[in-house]
């Protein structure tokens, strides 16, 4: 059965537009006998099954400051031995069946993904089950993963983008747990023990925090029963989420880390808002016009196409669970850093003062609504779309109404949001390089040590 | 130039359809079909009806290695200029049109090819073809864009290469390996040379290489050859073929001495080992290339294979190690070995241990299970590769511009399955023996902090 494609009208009448469709994505919502909810898009075109799962509010934000990297290390070691299988035996079982089983840690959650060929699904589910039920945290793989992380950090110390990200994180999230380095530091990683990993695993991988989705060659009935098999044994409830919300810190400052390289990396944060805000869709359209589009965005047009100052400049919305923000990133030769900052400020001001022309607005809407199907071109991508809906608490028919929400945004809405968000004075700026700056910049802060690295 | 010979179109179309062939069903991994237009443009369709989207790509059989000496980076700079408008379309307008229609577009340049692509809802395919065909023949960037785009490319080189000494070092290792061969010159070009060429030089490059008979159209997604071919005929069919020059390539010069490069740099905190070998490409020696695919997968295809198990898990002398082989090249392939040492392990010690692993393969050979498991993983990879719209188009484009055929790609899983332990061991001896190097000894690099800890 092919539940997935719902664009039949389009296929038959290629001149028609997308309004002919009924449902954008045929999402099945199932609940296991044990009460675990799962969303599924079934599609047997290929013999591939993808599963994604996340434990919300169980992310790296919960790392103790002296053990930064703890949750990342958990993600590195949950697939390094479980039950009767030691690290090598477990990895061998995955490799021999071409199963991808990975855990991952973000600031906001601990999760993972499983991808398997249908013919190896029983083995894949079994391995995921023992990884979730009986992870071993043997000393050998824990040490090995720690060393790999420390190597990664030492290597990254040569990478100006990584340095800029460390500094911007430290400054824009100052005073909030988000400011820590999710990947750990050279000092904190050695402090993490197998018992720390075990404790976190026991406390935070609980059913009340769990979100599961699947896509591909699996039936709703099988998925429904699988939910209990994989996750039914986990504790029902974990500790309350106590991480506070916050706003972007250090607005109006420019942090400079001097590095002898020909091009300065520029990373900027601005306070923004999340999906619960009535102007959320206007913010999406604004971001696209400002810098989200890549080619054709205002920042790209001015900084790259007109002035040849950079290979790329982008803005994006970071819709985190605790701090929402807009980010702007680019790089330019040291001589043109001030000009680049001027361009960014000027484009912000222009969006505040002048309404976006009708055709530019329509083009933005047309991309945002018309490109949705590009996010569904593989089993993994479909699972990711489902995960995005669920982690943001969106209804299963959200995508069916997305175009209406975007199309309702007016030039006045965009200007209002620009006045709220695109405020040059609120930028938290990080520069890494040897930029030519004028004397006496009073908001300049010189950074000499890379925060949360050593 | 576009000719509006509408009367001939039906004829062209009929002729093109006659050339349309499909492979026998049992041999298909991707189910690709191929046809040719009268003007010599190859058309490849990879049907994938899951979602009503397509990836549309045009690959040109020209890349950085076809540049004249002293003009490094021109193929890539030219690729940038392809977005700067034609007689019909303003600079940047093609990308904007693609966005407006809900699609994404970009392009890339390699040593042997240059490719332009868009992904979009399938009903917009004709518009893409119209614009792509237009810029194949009628590119006309306004002069004020030449200098600013040159600056963009210089910023690109700073961002990709100049800003990180590790990337400069890798570039220089390739350069040291490929003596007297264009693969030693980076695709993006040398900083000093990028600055030298002007539009007149670039225009000559365009006139020489951009022609339908030097291009491959690849459409992957929710389409069939029956749908694509008439569209291709309509938009690309009227373009005139050109007389193409031969892609004259040099051979690498013999190097009898070992090449050992060291970079000590203040920003380096993590020592690293890297080595690059020259190898046969798939085109040069298909059978050996397949054996090398299996060998590298067996040596380094994940944490359960030989190199990682020995150096990282058992001996604890490295924190990472990998061996990777690239056979997709018109001329030579390459094989990289990279590793990072554990704390207090010197690069000399690590290098000796890596050499010992290679020596072990040469004297004792791989074992049957390692090879069998590697083959199974590679075959399964081919199933996962179908789970994408743009991915298969990429695979075919790389293959077809580097001397492989559609059959080579479609039959790859079966060909891999036929590789034997003996062939794998023979390939190791032919290509990895330090006493009898293939063409020349590899180039070995050590990246070190300024003062070794």
The per-residue pLDDT for B12 is 36
- Smallest CA–CA distance from B339 into chain A, residue: A151
The average pLDDT across B333-349 equals 97
Q: Is the dihedral of CA A411, A417, A418, A420 positive or negative?
A: positive
Side by side, the strands of the sheet bearing B21-22 are: B21-22, B33-36, B42-47, B215-221, B53-60, B114-121, B104-109
Number of other CB atoms surrounding residue A332 within 10 Å: 30
- Smallest CA–CA distance from B298 into chain A, residue: A95
Counting beta carbons within 10 angstroms of the beta carbon of residue A83, is it exposed (0 to 12), middle (13 to 18) or buried (19 or more)? middle
Number of other CB atoms surrounding residue A320 within 10 Å: 17
Residue A388, by phi and psi: left (phi above 0), alpha (psi -120 to 50) or beta? alpha
Phi, psi torsion values for A2, nearest 5 degrees: -120, 95
Per-residue pLDDT of chain A (454 residues; tens, 9 = 90+): 333 333 332 222 333 333 334 688 999 999 999 999 999 999 999 999 999 999 999 999 999 999 999 999 999 999 999 999 999 999 999 999 999 999 999 999 999 999 999 999 999 999 999 999 999 999 999 999 999 999 999 999 999 999 999 999 999 999 999 999 999 999 999 999 999 999 999 999 999 999 999 999 999 999 999 999 999 999 999 999 999 999 999 999 999 999 999 999 999 999 999 999 999 999 999 999 999 999 899 999 999 999 999 999 999 999 899 999 999 999 999 999 999 999 999 999 999 999 999 999 999 999 999 999 999 999 999 999 999 999 999 999 999 999 999 999 999 999 999 999 999 999 999 999 999 999 989 999 999 999 999 9
The enclosing H or E element of A317 equals strand A313-319
Best residue of B155, B161, B297 to probe chain A, by most A CBs closer than 10 Å: B155
- CA neighbor of A143 nearest in space, from A197, A89, A66, A182: A197
Residues of chain A in contact with residue B152, where contact means CB-CB under 8 angstroms, are 304, 308, 310-311
Q: Is the dihedral of CA A122, B389, B44, B232 positive or negative?
A: positive
pLDDT of B13 above 60: no
Longest CA–CA span in chain B (Å) reads 76
The domain ranges of chain A are 8-231, 253-373+395-447
- CA neighbor of B228 nearest in space, from B128, B131, B134: B128
- SS3 labels along A364-416: HHHHHHHCHHHHHCCHHHHHHHHHHHHHCCCCCCHHHHHHHHHHCCCHHHHHH
The answer to whether the CB atoms of A98 and B380 lie below 8 A apart is: yes
The per-residue pLDDT for A189 is 98
The answer to whether the CB atoms of B389 and A378 lie below 8 A apart is: yes
| Separation of alpha carbons B129 and A157, rounded Å | 45
- Smallest CA–CA distance from B148 into chain A, residue: A308
| Separation of alpha carbons A303 and A338, rounded Å | 12
- CA neighbor of A135 nearest in space, from A175, A103, A157, A98: A103
| Separation of alpha carbons A296 and A298, rounded Å | 6
| Separation of alpha carbons B29 and B32, rounded Å | 8
The average pLDDT across B427-439 equals 97
The enclosing H or E element of A314 equals strand A313-319
The answer to whether the CB atoms of B52 and A11 lie below 8 A apart is: yes
The answer to whether the CB atoms of A295 and B95 lie below 8 A apart is: yes
Would you say A312 and A304 are in contact if contact means Cβ atoms under 8 Å apart? yes
The enclosing H or E element of A389 equals helix A379-391
Return all residues near B248 (Cβ < 8 A) that are at least 6 apart.
Answer: none
Helices B199-209 and B74-81 cross at an angle (nearest 10°) of 90
The per-residue pLDDT for A11 is 29
- CA neighbor of B324 nearest in space, from B295, B347, B350: B295
First to last CA, chain A: 54
Q: Where are the alpha helices (DSSP H) in B25-86?
A: 74-81
CA distance B323 to chain A (A): 17
- Smallest CA–CA distance from B81 into chain A, residue: A305
| Separation of alpha carbons A454 and A189, rounded Å | 10
Number of other CB atoms surrounding residue B363 within 10 Å: 8
Would you say B183 and B284 are in contact if contact means Cβ atoms under 8 Å apart? no
The per-residue pLDDT for A112 is 97
- CA neighbor of A120 nearest in space, from A103, A101, A138, A133: A101
SS3 A442: coil
Would you say A234 and A205 are in contact if contact means Cβ atoms under 8 Å apart? yes
- Fold match between domain A8-231 and domain A253-373+395-447: yes
The per-residue pLDDT for B173 is 98
CA distance A448 to chain B (A): 14
- CATH code at A253-373+395-447: 3.30.830.10
| Separation of alpha carbons B371 and B359, rounded Å | 18
Catalytic residues of B: 79
Residues of chain A in contact with residue B121, where contact means CB-CB under 8 angstroms, are 10, 18, 370, 373
- CATH code at A8-231: 3.30.830.10
CA trace torsion B37, B38, B42, B47 (10° rounding): 20
The answer to whether the CB atoms of A48 and B383 lie below 8 A apart is: yes
CA distance A446 to chain B (A): 19
The answer to whether the CB atoms of A43 and B151 lie below 8 A apart is: no
Residues of chain A in contact with residue B373, where contact means CB-CB under 8 angstroms, are 95-96
Domains of chain B: 6-235 (3.30.830.10), 259-449 (3.30.830.10)
Q: For Cα atoms B38, B41, B47, give the angle at the middle one, nearest 5 degrees.
A: 110
The per-residue pLDDT for A22 is 66
Longest CA–CA span in chain A (Å) reads 69
Helices B125-137 and B225-235 cross at an angle (nearest 10°) of 40
Percent of chain B past pLDDT 90, that is, above it, reads 91
pLDDT of B9 above 70: no
CA distance A365 to chain B (A): 8
Q: Where are the alpha helices (DSSP H) in A263-317?
A: 280-287, 298-300
Percent of chain A past pLDDT 90, that is, above it, reads 94
What would the pLDDT profile of B214-236 be if each residue is shown by its tens digit? 999 999 999 999 999 999 999 99
- CA neighbor of B374 nearest in space, from B279, B428, B280, B293: B293
| Separation of alpha carbons A388 and B373, rounded Å | 36
The answer to whether the CB atoms of B92 and A295 lie below 8 A apart is: yes
Q: If you search the block for the tokens 């392990």, which residue do you land on?
A: B345
Residues of chain B in contact with residue A379, where contact means CB-CB under 8 angstroms, are 387
Best residue of B97, B126, B163 to probe chain A, by most A CBs closer than 10 Å: B163
Q: Is the dihedral of CA B394, B205, B215, B102 positive or negative?
A: positive
Distances (CA, A) of B106 to B56, B79, B405: 11, 10, 25
The answer to whether the CB atoms of A10 and B92 lie below 8 A apart is: no
Phi, psi torsion values for A295, nearest 5 degrees: -55, 130
CA distance A309 to chain B (A): 6
| Separation of alpha carbons A69 and A452, rounded Å | 10
| Separation of alpha carbons A367 and B335, rounded Å | 41
What would the pLDDT profile of B136-194 be if each residue is shown by its tens digit? 999 999 999 999 999 999 999 999 999 999 999 999 999 999 999 999 999 999 999 99
Mean pLDDT for all residues in chain A: 94
């Amino acid at each position: 059965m092919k539940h997935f494609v719902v664009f039949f009208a389009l296929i038959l009448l290629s001149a028609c537009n997308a309004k002919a469709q009924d449902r954008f994505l045929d999402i099945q919502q199932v609940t296991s006998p044990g009460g675990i909810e799962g969303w599924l898009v079934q599609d047997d075109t290929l013999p591939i099954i993808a599963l994604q799962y996340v434990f919300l509010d169980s992310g790296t934000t919960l790392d103790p400051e002296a053990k930064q990297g703890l949750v990342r290390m958990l993600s590195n070691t949950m697939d390094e031995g479980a039950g009767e299988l030691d690290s090598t035996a477990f990895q061998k079982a995955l490799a021999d069946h071409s199963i991808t089983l990975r855990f991952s840690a973000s600031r906001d959650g601990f999760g993972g993904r499983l991808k398997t060929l249908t013919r190896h699904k029983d083995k894949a589910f079994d391995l995921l089950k023992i990884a979730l039920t009986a992870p071993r945290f043997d000393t050998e793989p824990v040490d090995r993963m720690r060393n790999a992380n420390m190597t990664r950090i030492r290597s990254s110390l040569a990478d100006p983008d990584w340095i800029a990200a460390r500094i911007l994180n430290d400054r824009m999230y100052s005073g909030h747990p988000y400011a820590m380095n999710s990947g750990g530091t050279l000092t904190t990683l050695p402090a993490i023990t197998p018992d720390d990993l075990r404790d976190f695993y026991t406390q935070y991988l609980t059913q009340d925090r769990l979100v599961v989705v699947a896509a591909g060659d699996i039936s709703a009935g099988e998925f429904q029963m699988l939910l209990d098999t994989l996750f039914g044994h986990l504790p029902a409830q974990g500790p309350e989420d106590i991480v506070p919300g916050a706003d972007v810190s250090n607005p109006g400052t420019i942090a400079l880390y001097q590095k002898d390289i020909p091009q300065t990396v520029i990373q900027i944060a601005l306070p923004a808002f999340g999906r619960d805000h009535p102007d959320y869709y206007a913010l999406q359209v604004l971001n696209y016009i400002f810098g989200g589009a890549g080619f054709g965005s205002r920042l790209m047009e001015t900084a790259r196409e007109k002035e040849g100052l950079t290979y790329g400049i982008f803005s994006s919305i970071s819709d985190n669970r605790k701090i929402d923000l807009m980010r702007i990133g680019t790089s330019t030769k040291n001589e043109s850093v001030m000009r680049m900052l001027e361009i960014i400020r000027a484009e912000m001001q222009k969006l505040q003062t002048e309404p976006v022309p009708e055709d530019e607005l329509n083009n933005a809407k047309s991309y945002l609504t018309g490109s949705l199907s590009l996010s569904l071109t593989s089993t993994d991508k479909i699972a990711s779309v489902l995960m995005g809906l669920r982690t943001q608490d969106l209804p299963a028919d959200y995508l069916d109404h997305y175009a209406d929400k975007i199309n309702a945004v007016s030039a006045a809405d965009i200007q209002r949001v620009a006045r709220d968000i695109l405020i040059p004075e609120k930028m938290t700026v990080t520069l890494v390089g040897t930029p030519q700056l004028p004397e006496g910049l009073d908001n300049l802060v010189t950074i000499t040590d890379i925060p949360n690295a050593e | 130039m576009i000719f509006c010979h509408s009367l001939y179109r039906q004829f062209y179309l009929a002729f093109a359809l006659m050339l349309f062939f499909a492979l026998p069903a049992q041999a298909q991994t991707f189910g690709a079909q191929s046809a040719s237009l009268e003007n010599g443009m190859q058309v490849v369709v990879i049907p994938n009806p899951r979602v009503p989207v397509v990836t549309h790509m045009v690959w040109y059989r020209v890349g950085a290695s076809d540049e004249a000496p002293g003009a490094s980076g021109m193929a890539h700079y030219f690729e940038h200029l392809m977005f700067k408008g034609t007689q019909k379309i303003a600079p940047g307008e093609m990308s904007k049109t693609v966005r407006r229609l809900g699609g994404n577009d970009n392009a890339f340049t390699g040593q042997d090819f240059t490719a332009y692509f868009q992904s979009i809802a399938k009903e917009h395919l004709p518009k893409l073809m119209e614009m792509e065909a237009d810029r194949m023949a009628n590119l006309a960037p306004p002069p004020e864009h030449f200098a600013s785009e040159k600056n963009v490319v210089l910023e690109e080189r700073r961002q990709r290469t100049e800003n990180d000494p590790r990337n400069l070092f890798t570039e220089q290792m390739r350069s040291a390996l490929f003596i007297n061969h264009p693969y030693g010159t980076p695709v993006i070009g040398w900083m000093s040379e990028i600055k030298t060429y002007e539009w007149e030089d670039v225009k000559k490059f365009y006139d020489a290489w951009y022609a339908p008979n030097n291009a491959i159209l690849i459409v992957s997604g929710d389409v069939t050859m029956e749908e694509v071919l008439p569209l291709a005929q309509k938009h690309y069919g009227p373009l005139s073929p050109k007389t193409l020059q031969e892609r004259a390539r040099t051979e690498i010069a013999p190097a009898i001495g070992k090449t050992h490069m060291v970079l000590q740099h203040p920003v380096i905190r993590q020592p690293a080992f890297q080595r690059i070998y020259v190898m046969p490409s798939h085109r040069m020696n298909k059978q050996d290339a397949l054996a090398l695919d299996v060998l590298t997968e067996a040596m380094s295809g994940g944490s359960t294979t030989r190199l990682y198990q020995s150096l990282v898990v058992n001996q604890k002398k490295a924190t990472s190690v990998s061996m990777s082989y690239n056979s997709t090249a018109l001329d030579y392939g390459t094989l990289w070995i990279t590793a990072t040492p554990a704390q207090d392990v010197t690069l000399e010690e690590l290098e000796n241990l890596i050499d010992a692993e290679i020596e072990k393969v040469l004297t004792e050979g791989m074992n049957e299970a390692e090879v069998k498991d590697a083959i199974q993983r590679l075959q399964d990879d081919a199933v996962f590769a179908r789970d994408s719209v743009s991915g298969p188009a990429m695979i075919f484009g790389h293959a077809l511009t580097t001397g492989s055929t559609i059959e080579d790609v479609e039959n790859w899983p079966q060909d891999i399955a036929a590789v034997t332990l003996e062939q794998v061991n023979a390939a190791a001896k032919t290509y990895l023996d330090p006493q009898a190097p293939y063409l020349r000894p590899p180039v070995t690099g050590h990246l070190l902090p300024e003062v070794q800890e």
